Chain A
Amino acid sequence: MTQTLDLSQVTPGFDDPVLDAQSCFRKVLDAISYPGRIYALDVPPAPAPLNPASAGLALTLMDFDTPIYLSPALQTDSIVSWLRFHCSAPITTVPKEAAFAFLQEGDVWPSIDEFHPGDAKYPDTSTSLVIQLSSLETGPAITLNGPGIETQETIHPNSMPENFWNARAENVADFQLGVDCYLTAGNQVIGLPRTTRTMPA
């Protein structure tokens, strides 16, 4: 079985693959270490509707070992080709197989329990969700606390599905299992690891 890759629409990735990926990785590491803080990633444009922050996560974290799940609006030929070319990552349609899942605001997402929660020996094998939103600063307030947050932090992600926060709370209740999330908009990213507790304010 030979899969051909259509390169006619693929745009360039990082200008300097090593140094740019390292500086991007540092910011992503900070984002997941300090949940709720907004970090801006410096990434060249990727095929729409993949936003630059999500593209930066892909270029920094994903490779041939990390199957990627895409929500329907992101399953375009140009995005699939771009991910396969730059990350060599396989694309999967089964949420449980995915190491990373890109979810676009407005799409119907699989329920959070359909993604891989990790297992007791290897909790790091869980799926990480990359959630693409229109804004991280104009939505209803969500209060965060937990490791990496001194007292509490407040985020304002726009148009998250109503039941998301309850479903996530249930999902991360049996720590050390659970999914980690990255919220992205434009070139901004917020990390939301499974240790963070959320309360709608």
Chain B
Amino acid sequence: MNEKFVETDTLPNDANAARQSWMKILACSDPVNVESAWNSALGLNEVPCEIIRKPERGLVMVRGRAGSAGGQFNLGEMTVTRCAVRLAEGETGVSYIAGRNLEHALIAAKADALLQSETHHDKAFAALIEPLQKQIDDREAERASKVAATRVNFFTMVRTREDKK
């Protein structure tokens, strides 16, 4: 059948969960941070790889579901950049990044391939994912503290008998 839209409501299995978590970190990081982490990951950024899909920009239709239970509707279009590469060892890395940053998509695809390869995984995880995760955590913590500083509490006064007169 020609299923154009694929349901992805099911939870990922364990093999995909690890990959999803590092792809999330690569996708949610600031492009500047991704580029600086990649440029400082010496030895990793020189691993030769074949580009099977050059970074390219396009639009995807984001679909929503009211209350995650109603019928699907088109929420709106967003710009994405995607890329696919393959290492000499055979691992294929794929990336979809929100926005128009070609370099970000290329680095994310290469990092995905390196993280899947047994020989490079540990090094790539330490050089790329851990610092980026820390930067995301710091960013979230900073935002949370800024939000917390503006918190307003509402108190309800209990009326006494005198008030009722």
Contacts and interface: CB of A to CB of B under 8 A. Distances in A.
Q: Do A and B come together as binding partners? A: yes
Contacts of A11: 52
A67 B2 contact: yes
A2 B10 CA distance: 9
B56 A17 contact: yes
Interface in A8-51: 8, 10-13, 17
Interface string A42-76: 00000000000000000000001001000000000
Contact of A2 (B7, B52, B53, B54): B7
A7 B7 CA distance: 21
A1 B92 contact: no
Interface residues of A: mostly helix, strand, loop or mixed?
A: loop
B92 A8 contact: yes
Given A7-B86, A8-B92, A17 B6 contact: no
Contacts of B3: 1, 3, 90
> Which DSSP category, helix, strand, loop or mixed, fits chain B's interface?
strand
B8 interface: yes
Contacts of A8: 86, 90, 92
A90 B56 CA distance: 21
A97 interface: yes
Contact of B53 (A12, A64, A67, A92): A12
B2 A92 contact: yes
Nearest to B84: A7
Interface in B3-37: 3-4, 6-8, 10
A89 to B, nearest CB: 9
Given A12-B51, A12-B52, A3 B92 contact: no
B94 interface: yes
B50 interface: yes
Given A1-B7, A2-B8, A17-B54, A10 B2 contact: no
A12 B53 CA distance: 6
Interface in B52-77: 52-54, 56
A1 B6 contact: yes
Contacts of A90: 2-4
Contacts of B90: 8
Given A1-B6, A67-B2, A97-B2, A10 B54 contact: no
A1 B50 CA distance: 30
A11 B92 CA distance: 11
Nearest to B9: A2
B4 A64 contact: yes
Contacts of A13: 52-53
Contacts of B53: 12-13, 85-86
Nearest to A86: B53
Nearest to A4: B16
A85 B53 CA distance: 9
Nearest to A97: B2
A2 B3 CA distance: 10
A17 B8 CA distance: 29
B145 to A, nearest CB: 39
A13 to B, nearest CB: 7
Contacts of A17: 54, 56
Nearest to A92: B2
A10 B56 CA distance: 17
5 contacts: A1-B6, A2-B8, A7-B84, A7-B86, A85-B84
6 shortest interchain CB distances as A-B pairs: A7-B92, A90-B2, A12-B52, A2-B6, A67-B2, A10-B52
